[in-house]
Amino acid sequence: MATANKPAETATAPAEKPKSKRLLMIGVALVLLAVALAGGWLYLQKRNADIMLGVEEEHSEEEEEVVVESAAPIYLPLDTMVVNLSPDGDRVAQIGITLEVSDAHSLEKVKSYLPALRSDILLLLSQRTAEELLTNEGKEKLKADILASAAAQMKAARKKGEKRGPQPVRKVHFSSFIVQ
């Protein structure tokens, strides 16, 4: 009888070892899953707390520009400009320009340099001919030149010690355009 019981014990013993290894692996997997979930939950709680307190995450310049561009634009209408056109000065252009700026801080910055911007725009306009301004290509080139002039003014301001950031003037729009 002792010999009959021995084979039965050896038959059940190998079956329990793989079962215990499987249970151990399942236990380890559950512990790792619990740790991962707890870590994710803590991360999200900290992030939400930072957002509620107004702490901003650091962004690279490209990320900051994307965030700025997604904000609603602010428009700064300039006074209507009347300019004699080159080369003979017999023709006149009356143009209303509106600058699109990215935010309220940029609006104040652009307003502080508005006399210099207006002067540059008047010089750009007086160098054009009536034929050039009457074409769409000429108007688009004028917009690009005005935008470049605004960028140059803001770049000069940064050289004087102001903080570097995204370009304050995003676009140039015409509110009126008359060539006589």
H helices of 57-170, in order, are 61-70, 104-112, 114-126, 130-133, 136-159
* Contact criterion met (CB below 8 Å) for 68 and 102: yes
Co-location of 83 and 136 in the same domain: yes
Co-location of 84 and 134 in the same domain: yes
Check residues 156 and 153 and name the one with the higher pLDDT: 153
* Contact criterion met (CB below 8 Å) for 151 and 116: no
pLDDT score recorded for residue 53: 64
Comparing 97-111, 118-132, 147-161, which segment has the lowest mean pLDDT? 147-161
Look at residue 62 and tell me if it is in a domain: no
Whole-angstrom Cα distance, residue 139 to residue 97? 12
pLDDT-derived band at 86, boundaries 50, 70, 90: confident
Co-location of 35 and 98 in the same domain: no
Report field, pTM of the whole predicted structure over 0.75: no
pLDDT score recorded for residue 7: 54
Q: What is the mean pLDDT of residues 120-144?
A: 91
CATH number of residue 132's parent domain: 3.30.479.30
Rg (C-alpha) for the chain, rounded Å, is 35
Give the end of a domain, one of 30, 57, 84: 57
Residues 30-82: pLDDT tens digits? 999 999 998 888 888 877 776 666 554 444 444 455 444 556 778 999 999 99
Structural domain boundaries enclosing 30: 1-57
Look at residue 63 and tell me if it is in a domain: no
Whole-angstrom Cα distance, residue 91 to residue 84? 6
> Based on the structure, what is the number of domains in the chain?
2
Whole-angstrom Cα distance, residue 47 to residue 14? 50
